[in-house]
Amino acid sequence: MQVVEVGVEGPDGETYRREVVRHPGAVVVVPATDSGTFLLVQQYRAAVGAELLEVPAGKRDVTGEPPEVTAARELAEEIGKKAAHLELLARFYNSPGFCDEMAHLYLASGLSDVPLDRHGVEEQHMSVVEVPFGDVDAMIEKGDIVDAKSIIGLTLALKRLQ
């Protein structure tokens, strides 16, 4: 994570300074099974001090790697699956007020098993949670899913699958 100052030119010609976070971007993957469920991961998030239920995701930290390759890699690493179909649903900025992180969001379907390949402290203590399509809206409403990228991913995936 890198915090830098950037100049913002006002329409009056003056320049203002702003502190922003530089981020390599991320991939977000919504894995949908043929039996009508999503495969989520439960993991501890040090920044918020809590266990959160999220869709698989990861930083684009390999220079030059196309986002769909990173997405496939995260899917194998975090839940041990390979997808026959990986469809780009959207691209979005998580927090454009102070960070340039852009996420590429994919729907993954036609899933088959591959070896799990977790590394890093957080990944090693993830667990996979299977959630029926029909439970998602209520889980968001009740606050069981409070991660922005997961709310967007699951909501757009449901629309696509309907």
Active site amino acids: 122
Q: What is the DSSP letter of 133?
A: G
Choice between 47 and 84, CB closer to a copy of itself: 47
Residue 1 and residue 106: Cα distance in Å, rounded? 24
| 77, HSE (Cβ side, Cα atoms, 13 Å) | 19
Position 55 contacts a copy of itself (CB under 8 A): no
CA-CA distances (angstroms) from residue 15 to 1, 3, 6, 88, 99?
25, 19, 10, 37, 19
Residue 107 and residue 160: Cα distance in Å, rounded? 9
Number of residues that bind a copy of itself (CB under 8 A): 54
Nearest distance in Å: CB 124, a copy of itself: 8
Which 122-151 positions form the footprint of a copy of itself (CB under 8 A)?
A: 122, 124-125, 137, 140-141, 143, 146-149, 151
- Write out the two tokens for 12: 């009056």
Instruction: Please report, as ranges, the residues that interact with a copy of itself according to CB under 8 A.
Output: 1, 3, 6-8, 10-11, 16, 18-21, 26, 44-49, 52, 54, 57, 59, 90-103, 121-122, 124-125, 137, 140-141, 143, 146-149, 151-152, 155-156, 159
